[in-house]
Homo-oligomer: A and B are copies of this chain.
Amino acid sequence: MVSDSDVSEKAPLCDQVPRELGEYRASIDNLDAALVHLLAERFRVTRKVGELKRQEALPPADEGREERQLLRLKEIATTAGLDPTVVDLIFPALMSEVRRRHQELRGDGPRPL
């Protein structure tokens, strides 16, 4: 049999889990909003790059640069305590989308140099 005192002692412990989870989720939501704002700025800049490349008939991608970017970001990830494989989850997809948009900006496909 559970006495009233047992219930009243347990209640704060039961509340603690959703409160802790709620606080973590508030942090995740803030970080995600910040991520979206940074992505918005990144696409603003890559659009300018795309326009410059179209004007100057430069190729839509520089494979060497993408490889260097990924290597550098994996180093930054490791220093920041983030598993560097997370970089592969995000950045190749971003870079591929940017490349697609650069191609779109200059017409159906990349023009010959």
Contacts and interface: CB of A to CB of B under 8 A. Distances in A.
Interface of chain A: mostly helix, strand, loop or mixed: helix
Copies of this chain held together in the complex: 2
A17 B90 contact: no
Nearest to A36: B76
Contacts of A44: 81
Given A20-B52, A35-B42, A86-B97, 6 more contacts: A25-B65, A32-B73, A39-B86, A43-B86, A86-B94, A90-B93
Interface of A: 17, 20-21, 24-25, 27-29, 31-46, 48-49, 52-53, 56, 58, 65, 69, 72-73, 76-77, 80-83, 86-87, 89-91, 93-94, 97
